[in-house]
Amino acid sequence: MNDFLKKMRDDHHEFDRGQLEDQYGKNPYELFQQWYDEAQHGEVLEANAFALATVNSEGLPSSRILYLKELDQEEFVFYTNYQSRKGEELAANSQASMLFFWPELQRQIRIEGKVTRVADSLSDAYFASRPRGSQIGAWASQQSQLLTSRQELEDRIAELEKQYTGEVPRPPHWGGYALSPESLEFWQGRASRLHDRIYFERKGSSWDVCRLNP
Ligand SMILES: Cc1cc2nc3c(=O)[nH]c(=O)nc-3n(C[C@H](O)[C@H](O)[C@H](O)COP(=O)(O)O)c2cc1C
């Protein structure tokens, strides 16, 4: 075995930061909120960053990191470009998965469900709250499309700065999506890889909850 492989294999973490015995309750949103608050107020650098996995029309998966911006009416909201790769994939297949990993707390949360666009009024309100540079950026970036040079982007930004001297309107191709969960899994690392996994599955207006093998 080469040194690199050996080092990877020896990279062994013990999980001893917590446990999910029977105090997890019956409401996954309350547990999410509790863990999120602990991540935000603890040492987690970017508690609101998660990996969004989507699949394209041929069933091929892809993932990328995004920021969670709201937990609104039991839906998880994020913002992006509707014409981006993820936007196209979500248009082809609205099923997606979100994954939060908070290593400092030895926790992972997996959320799966259907994604829909949020109301324009919600996107407008969030867009209006963003710094001007990000607003101009949303117009300038044809996210996920080919860019011939950095200069091309800088030129587009300079043009837009001249065009929008006052308020910047929200581009029609930019806005929010909301994931409505069908299932959530809370994972707490434990010693000897005998982790706690609590799985919530939607059953109409309530949730079935069970424990999974680690
Ligand atoms: C920490 C972090 C946060 C990010 N947040 C967002 C976000 O909220 N919205 C977004 O469109 N892209 C965000 N990105 C960029 C995406 O990861 C990705 O590069 C971009 O959305 C294009 O993805 P796509 O080509 O799959 O559509 C973020 C990247 C990182 C590393």
Say what the pLDDT of residue 42 is.
Answer: 86
Instruction: Split the chain (214 residues) into runs of 10 and give each run's mean pLDDT.
Output: 75 78 83 95 94 97 98 94 98 98 96 98 98 98 97 98 97 98 96 93 95 96
Helix 132-140 with 150-163: angle, nearest 10 deg: 120
Q: How many domains does the chain have?
A: 1
**29 inside domain:** yes
Say what the pLDDT of residue 73 is.
Answer: 84
In ligand 1, the atom with minimum distance to the C-alpha of 65 is: 17
**88 inside domain:** yes
| Ligand 1 site residues, Cβ closer than 6 angstroms | 46, 49, 62, 64-67, 78-81, 84-86, 143-144
d(CA 166, CA 168): 6
pTM: 0.94
In ligand 1, the atom with minimum distance to the C-alpha of 87 is: 27
**126 inside domain:** no
**93 inside domain:** yes
Distance (angstroms) between ligand 1 centre and the Cα of 163 equals 26
Q: What tokens appear for 155 in the block?
A: 């030129």
Q: Beta strands 61-67 and 107-117: pairing type?
A: unpaired
**162 inside domain:** no
Say what the pLDDT of residue 37 is.
Answer: 96
The one-letter code for the residue type at 54 is T
Unique residue bearing structure tokens 């079935």: 208
d(CA 149, CA 29): 44
Say what the pLDDT of residue 43 is.
Answer: 86
Are 105 and 95 contacting, i.e. CB atoms less than 8 angstroms apart? no
d(CA 84, CA 145): 7
Q: What's the domain range around 42?
A: 12-119+177-211
The one-letter code for the residue type at 212 is L
**144 inside domain:** no
Domain harbouring 45, CATH code: 2.30.110.10
**151 inside domain:** no
- Residues acting as catalytic residues: 193
**143 inside domain:** no
Atom 6 of ligand 1, residue of closest alpha carbon: 66
In ligand 1, the atom with minimum distance to the C-alpha of 88 is: 27
